[in-house]
Amino acid sequence: MAPLWSVYVLLTALVLLQNFKAHADDDKPLGSPFVQRAVREAIELVDKAYKETRVSQKQQLSKRSLKPSDLLRFFKHPVATTRVAVRSAEYMENTLRLIQQHVHRVHKRSLNATDLLTAADLDTIARVTGCLAIRQPPICKDDCFTDRYRTFTSVCNNRRKPRLGSSHTPFTRWLPPHYEDGFSLPLGWTPGRQVSRFPLPLVRDVSNKILRTRNEDVVNDLEVTHLFMQWGQWIDHDMSLSPHSGSIQTFNDGIDCERTCVQRNPCFPIRIPRGDTRIKNQRICLPFIRSAPACGSGELGSLFGDVNTRQQMNVLTSFIDVNEVYGSTDCLANKLRNLTNELGLLAVNEEFSDNGREYLPFNTISSNLCGRMGESCFTNENSTPCFIAGDVRVNEQLGVLTFHTVFLREHNRLARELKKMNPHWSGDTTYQEARKILGAFQQIINHRDYVPLVIGDEATMKYLSPYEGYDESIDPGIANVVATAAFRFGHLSIQPKLFRVDENYQEHPQFKSLDLHQAFFTPWRLIKEGGVDPLMRGLLGRPAKLQRQDKMLPDELREKLFELTAHLGMDLGSLNMQRSRDHGLPGYNAWRRFCGLSAPRNQGQLSSILRNRDLARRLIDLYRTPENIDVWLGAISEPFEAGGRVGPLLACLIGQQFKNLRDGDRFWWENDGVFSGSQRQALQKISMSRIICDNTRIEFLPRNAFKFRQYPQGYVHCSDIPKVDLSAWREDAQVTPCGSVPVVKHAHFSICKSSVRYTCESRFELVGGDTITCLSNGQWNQEPPGCVDPQSTGHHNIRIKVIQGGKGGCVPKGPNGKCIQSASQNDVEKVQLNEKNVKIKNAILSGKTSNG
């Protein structure tokens, strides 16, 4: 008998064929066979570019030495679920581009595009490319057990608009984007093209003339620690990651973006100005790959009168939920867990420990990314493992890796404590409860201790006045301007060194402080050079860099970003500005107006806003008008607000974002019903210093880990730092009015309101309904289930099997594929939709639908 799926494909093909014929008979300029051809061609183009990129990526990663751009690409390159989402968007974008090209070629006049593409055509394109599945709202369940924890993707946090704030959705726009062609091409794409009556300067020219700072000229910020900087990056990795296109070559003609100054999607190389501070050859460029578009955005703009401009995708959940520890997809989340027992732990490194304390597990993908030959000497000569965590940037530099390690330990510490108090909890309940507590810690430390130091007193009062409850109408998504410009303010607080100090907060005698470029992608240093403590002490005991209008970005970041070898280092300042043009961010003045601030019209007015005539003059020399100043640059140039580390524009943008993340989060720690009153009270004792005390061997530290104190003034012993009392999490196994929860042998249970859900220990299988509910008459609605040993009863396992992912990959592939790691309903639905699309796609590619 033919397998079910082939019958399905045949039926789908017939339906599509009918559809196409009907359109062809209409005799319209663009009938569906035309659309179909465009889709087929686009799929072929994208698949070819992806395949070639993959081959070249593999070759690069196995090379002896890596270029800085290889390293950036490593964490920007879409993989797993991100790749599925990005690929769909690129199929769609390229289909529409081909259609557009055809329209221009054939009709040579401007046409009302709605006459050319019917709604059905668009629907077909969206369906076949996979975009429809990605954009369809999932169904949110509302049973007590499912809805009690955040989903990993954060879908259904907002129950009315379930995708708000979830991973793999477009960034939120607070202002419409500003593209050169109105819908897709970055500003500055065409050399000499005017914006607000003036051409934009090259970003590298701006970087040279405004940002340049010698490492030794950096000024210390004696108010805040270097850990203040590190927390900023940590929280950013909880909020946003915009992936590159899945191709590193042009779709049309296969030109490698890394070796060209040609500007064609997705290549948007950074050109070198005359008289550059470092690069003398103007014919080379710093590579830059455009961020991937989100489904259904971009090229459609010209067809539908600029209603659909290019959007970029956030790989992460927007919410402050510690997704950098747990992952933003079900697949990754499961991969990071220790599922071999019922302790609710995260998986840890099996080969190495930090004097008995845990390290993150290694990523199973082997590459030379995380250390040069000879410097990495773990498993064997050819293997230089990277760590794996919930965020792909974990290995980017040793400071962020230190945070990842400490937060992994904190999860496991919480899980062990909780399990001790509640031995009846399953591994899953223990894991979820520890995850929920860690999420609350992150929110409290961020909003109570960190954000006010960033935005200052006035903005804190304005945006973070006392919590008034969850508001479903607030969009909690990360704004494109925040990810691409505003929150990158933290780049100005990075020291050119990563400090490593001993117990007395003196330079470590054995493991000296590192120039930052020596700390990029070198996780082996954590294991081989003293573990977490010297680095964490360095973050606590040394000040952050001070952002000053005349000392902006040190050479470590402007000339040596990701430079491990002699290759061309990247420039973080240029990347930030090129990225904001890539994302179509409007200029400085548009954002000043958005925030209700004055918009300077000339150099004089800019001087008074910046309180700096020289800087205003240099900016106007480059941009000619304040309108055009790249928003990141304009915003970081403003003098600080009182009590803060940013100026008024950033205080507004960052303040608004954190307000939305608080008030638009149904699982916000203060929201009614998320924690009990006694739990809420206990949680407030948390501090970053406490987390460090509990998970390192550090004994003395500043009480407030963000505020710089010269050791030993203001340093306290860990015993003086308050602890969170977890006794409020002890669960009484009673349900009113039924009394004690019935004990089932070999089962764990958890209680939600008046219901009890049982799960069996591994090896045992559940017989009967898993949930019992206590009725108002004091009786249980049914008998509890049993846990039986299938070996002894001959009972067959009929549950979906959990199959481990392949080498590092983790794409949900469906019942016949290899990598369903969890059976969450959302994932199963997604898989089914994806399978459908793949089949339709295959039918189109093989030409079956058009040729019969």
Question: Are residues 394 and 337 in contact, defined by beta-carbon separation less than 8 angstroms?
Answer: no
Question: Are residues 851 and 154 in contact, defined by beta-carbon separation less than 8 angstroms?
Answer: no
Nearer Cβ to ligand HEM, position 97 or 226?
226
Q: How far is CA 442 from CA 435, 451, 512, 622, in A?
A: 11, 12, 31, 41
Is position 77 an interface residue for ligand HEM (rule: CB under 6 A)?
no
CA nearest 757: which of 779, 778, 780?
A: 780
Question: Are residues 86 and 243 in contact, defined by beta-carbon separation less than 8 angstroms?
Answer: yes
DSSP 662-722: HHT-TT-TTSTTTS-HHHHHHHTT--HHHHHHHHSS--EEESSTTB---TTTTEEEGGGS-
CB of 520 to ligand HEM, least distance (A): 7
CB of 532 to ligand HEM, least distance (A): 17
CA distance 348 to 309: 43
CA distance 503 to 615: 42
CA distance 251 to 290: 13
Nearer Cβ to ligand HEM, position 553 or 616?
553
Question: Are residues 218 and 551 in contact, defined by beta-carbon separation less than 8 angstroms?
Answer: yes
CB of 316 to ligand HEM, least distance (A): 8
Element (H, E) at 751: strand 747-752
Nearer Cβ to ligand HEM, position 429 or 495?
495
Nearer Cβ to ligand HEM, position 156 or 650?
650
Is position 494 an interface residue for ligand HEM (rule: CB under 6 A)?
yes
Secondary structure (3-state) at 285: strand
Q: How many residues does the chain have?
A: 852
Using CB under 6 A as the binding rule, the residues of this chain from 571 to 590 that contact ligand HEM are 572, 575, 579
Binding segment toward ligand HEM, per CB under 6 A, in 36-44, 100-108, 487-495, 593-601: 487-495
For tokens 């009846």, the residue is: 424
Using CB under 6 A as the binding rule, the residues of this chain from 326 to 385 that contact ligand HEM are none
CB of 776 to ligand HEM, least distance (A): 51
Out of 323, 397, 405, 822, name the contact with ligand HEM by CB under 6 A: 397
Give the count of beta carbons closer than 10 Å to the beta carbon of residue 468: 9
Nearer Cβ to ligand HEM, position 16 or 483?
483
Is position 286 an interface residue for ligand HEM (rule: CB under 6 A)?
no
Nearer Cβ to ligand HEM, position 174 or 487?
487
Is position 483 an interface residue for ligand HEM (rule: CB under 6 A)?
yes
User: Which amino acid appears at position 316 of this protein?
Assistant: L
Q: How far is CA 416 from CA 349, 413, 536, in A?
A: 17, 5, 24
Out of 226, 290, 435, 491, name the contact with ligand HEM by CB under 6 A: 491
Secondary structure (3-state) at 438: helix
CB of 499 to ligand HEM, least distance (A): 12
**Dihedral sign (CA 687, 690, 691, 696):** positive
**DSSP letter (8 states) at residue 782:** S
* Phi and psi angles of residue 94, each rounded to the nearest 5 degrees, phi first: -70, -35
CA distance 379 to 112: 63
Nearer Cβ to ligand HEM, position 186 or 361?
186
CA nearest 483: which of 677, 259, 358, 661?
A: 661
Q: Kindly tell me the burial class for residue 760, based on how many C-beta atoms sit within 10 Å of its own C-beta (0-12, 13-18, 19 or more).
A: buried
String of contacts with ligand HEM for each residue 216-245, x by CB under 6 A: -------------x--xx--x---xxx---
Is position 487 an interface residue for ligand HEM (rule: CB under 6 A)?
yes
Determine which one of 237, 404, 447, 517 is catalytic. Answer: 237
Nearer Cβ to ligand HEM, position 42 or 72?
72
Measured between its terminal Cα atoms, the distance across the chain in Å is: 22
| Count of residues that bind ligand HEM according to CB under 6 A | 19
CB of 340 to ligand HEM, least distance (A): 34
Is position 395 an interface residue for ligand HEM (rule: CB under 6 A)?
no
CB of 237 to ligand HEM, least distance (A): 8
Using CB under 6 A as the binding rule, the residues of this chain from 31 to 60 that contact ligand HEM are none
CB of 800 to ligand HEM, least distance (A): 34
For 697-720, letters b (16+ CB in 10 Å) and e give ebebbbebbbebbebeeebbebee
CB of 315 to ligand HEM, least distance (A): 8
Out of 23, 411, 488, 624, name the contact with ligand HEM by CB under 6 A: 488
Nearer Cβ to ligand HEM, position 9 or 557?
557
Report the interhelical angle of 427-444 vs 398-421 (nearest 10°). Answer: 130
CA distance 521 to 370: 5
Is position 705 an interface residue for ligand HEM (rule: CB under 6 A)?
no
CB of 688 to ligand HEM, least distance (A): 15
Nearer Cβ to ligand HEM, position 258 or 396?
396
Binding segment toward ligand HEM, per CB under 6 A, in 59-67, 490-498, 671-679, 742-750: 490-498
CA distance 486 to 583: 13
Name the residue whose CB lies closest to ligand HEM.
490
Nearer Cβ to ligand HEM, position 233 or 750?
233
Question: Are residues 430 and 637 in contact, defined by beta-carbon separation less than 8 angstroms?
Answer: no
Residue 237 is a catalytic residue: yes
Binding segment toward ligand HEM, per CB under 6 A, in 105-113, 484-492, 796-804, 823-831: 484-492
CB of 597 to ligand HEM, least distance (A): 22
Using CB under 6 A as the binding rule, the residues of this chain from 587 to 606 that contact ligand HEM are none
Edge-first strand listing for the sheet containing 771-773: 747-752, 755-760, 771-773
- Whether omega for the bond prior to residue 266 falls within 30 degrees of 0, making it cis, is yes
**DSSP letter (8 states) at residue 847:** T
Nearer Cβ to ligand HEM, position 544 or 744?
544
Strands 270-271 and 285-286: antiparallel
Q: How far is CA 388 from CA 186, 405, 521, 523, 809, in A?
A: 34, 10, 12, 11, 12
Token pair belonging to 364: 């199973």
* 447 annotated binding-site participant: no
Strands 553-554 and 212-213: parallel
Residue 409 CA, distance from chain mean position: 21
CB of 317 to ligand HEM, least distance (A): 13
Out of 42, 43, 66, 72, name the contact with ligand HEM by CB under 6 A: 72
String of contacts with ligand HEM for each residue 546-575, x by CB under 6 A: --------------------------x--x
Q: Which residues bind ligand HEM (CB under 6 A)?
A: 72, 229, 232-233, 236, 240-242, 396-397, 483, 487-488, 490-491, 494, 572, 575, 579
Where is the binding site, in residues?
491
Where is the binding site for heme b, in residues?
491
Which residues participate in catalysis according to the annotation? Answer: 237
